Amino acid sequence: MDSENREVGIKMKTEELKQEHPIIAEMALEHEVTWINPMLAPAAEALEGLSVSAEDIQDAEARLERFAPFIREVFPETAERDGLIESPLKEIPSMKEAMNREGCGIRGRLMLKMDSHLAVAGSVKARGGIYEILKYAESLALAHGMLRPGESYVKFAGPEMKNFLSGYSVHVGSTGNLGLSIGIISAALGFQVNVHMSADAKQWKKDLLRSKGVHVAEYTGDYGKAVREGRALAEADPRSYFVDDENSKDLFLGYAVAAGRLKSQLSAQKIPVDREHPLFVYIPCGVGGAPGGITFGLKQEFGDNVHIFFEEPVQACCMALGMITGLHDRICVQDIGLTGRTEADGLAVGRPSKFVGKTISGMLAGEFTVCDQKLYSHMKMLMDTEGIFIEPSSCAAFEGPSRLFRDRESREFLERKALQERMESAVHIVWATGGSLVPQDVREEYCRKAVSHGAGDR
């Protein structure tokens, strides 16, 4: 009877929300929507009074620099950047031309931030995920006298430190890429690692983790189920640590470090960002940690001259739903009749992070939701035009520049912000969140899906 009452209550709440926010009725019908955030505020106001700060980002950057000798030692692929894990920023003019031939009308430069090719973990999660585990390892080593202030952190690559850290375990719930980053770095440090993966996670990601000595627990439920199980097991063991993707400030700050590095890359390419040269950034969104952290960092670096949009699958548009209603983690996509299931495994999340939603509520320009078939369409177009592969969930980000100039809501946003006349000098950055570790046979499968979805006949 309780479950019946709850179901009736949810239906009543949903109908009220649809009346109050007609866009939710469209979302419930699995329609693509464009949402412009009415809470968007001047950067100085949006950044005021938060539980995280610019100083916290600087602290995270300094910690990553301390760990650079260890990263270089254990992951030789990072030697070129002297142990810092960073990705290229590449202009993709042929992709822009192809998109414009289909009527997108993109004005300004189109670029790809290739976190899809980050060393070690091959996704944006190599930022926050790796950072949080490094910070945990540092805290244990300092607290137990295994590391003295001023010592080289290459010591973390030694057998004595690994033996010490093997007495501790790490748990994380994941749909895929966060699990990869946590699993790979934790195993490299010597931790006992447990990755709790939802049914949406791809098999190759589970196989890769197991090959690194990671224990992978599989659940028939969604991301939320994997998180709950992982948290419960970690809480039952005082020598266990749980990586909380929904609420972790350390993850958030690890992602935020990307913004300062992006600023340096733009400067190196002599690309200005100011009132006359606006920056637009498009980021795929799941629970919100990675895009939220990046958004926070971007606003710290570029203030009102950067305009950030998230992209989510139509079946898993949890961040949009949470922010539109103001309910954040007190509502999930299943409450409005959606499944939460999507080909974009990294975005297959039904309930958003309250911490992220509230933190960036005044920073996010808006959201575009996208149907799954377009993920493969964008993926194939990028391969055909630029020879670059990124995984389908990353390709959600292309929906931003695809519709910015076409949808009524986003066109009105540009006009209200007096941006239309500045678009020829604008820069659009699509944030590619994963892809380089995808095995060749899986890439070929994705290509076949692209053709079957009609991408070859665009």
CATH number of the domain enclosing 131: 3.40.50.1100
Same-domain pairing of 353 and 418: yes
Which of these three, 249, 277, 294, is where a domain ends?
A: 249
Judge whether 442 lies within some domain: yes
Same-domain pairing of 333 and 404: yes
What tokens were used for 185? 């770095």
Same-domain pairing of 208 and 114: no
Judge whether 192 lies within some domain: yes
Judge whether 48 lies within some domain: yes
- For the chain, 458 residues long, give each residue's pLDDT as a single digit of tens: 455 545 545 666 888 999 999 999 999 999 999 999 999 999 999 999 999 999 999 999 999 999 999 999 999 999 999 999 999 999 999 999 999 999 999 999 999 999 999 999 999 999 999 999 999 999 999 999 999 989 999 999 999 999 999 999 999 988 788 999 999 999 999 999 999 988 777 889 899 999 999 999 988 877 778 888 889 998 999 999 999 888 899 999 999 999 999 999 999 999 999 999 999 999 999 999 999 999 999 999 999 999 999 999 999 999 999 999 999 999 999 999 999 999 998 898 999 999 999 999 999 999 999 999 999 999 999 999 999 999 999 999 999 999 999 999 999 999 999 999 999 999 999 999 999 999 999 999 998 888 876 644 44
106: containing domain:
2-52+78-121+255-457
Judge whether 378 lies within some domain: yes
Amino acid 98: pLDDT: 98
Same-domain pairing of 14 and 93: yes
**pTM above 0.85?**
yes
Contact 301, 260 (CB under 8 A): yes
Judge whether 57 lies within some domain: no
Contact 319, 288 (CB under 8 A): yes
Amino acid 246: pLDDT: 84
CB hemisphere CA count around 262 (13 angstroms) = 29
Same-domain pairing of 6 and 105: yes
Judge whether 178 lies within some domain: yes
Residue 373's Cβ-count burial label (10 Å; 0-12, 13-18, 19+) is middle
Same-domain pairing of 216 and 268: no
Which of these three, 194, 222, 249, is where a domain ends?
A: 249
Same-domain pairing of 117 and 168: no
Same-domain pairing of 387 and 434: yes
- State the total domains in the chain: 2
Judge whether 70 lies within some domain: no
Amino acid 8: pLDDT: 46
Rg of the chain (C-alpha set): 21
Which of these three, 224, 249, 274, is where a domain ends?
A: 249
Judge whether 69 lies within some domain: no
Same-domain pairing of 220 and 185: yes
Same-domain pairing of 194 and 208: yes
In angstroms, the first-to-last Cα distance of the chain is 51
Same-domain pairing of 259 and 243: no
Same-domain pairing of 429 and 377: yes
Supply the angle between the helices 93-101 and 372-386 in degrees, to the nearest 10.
130
Contact 92, 332 (CB under 8 A): no
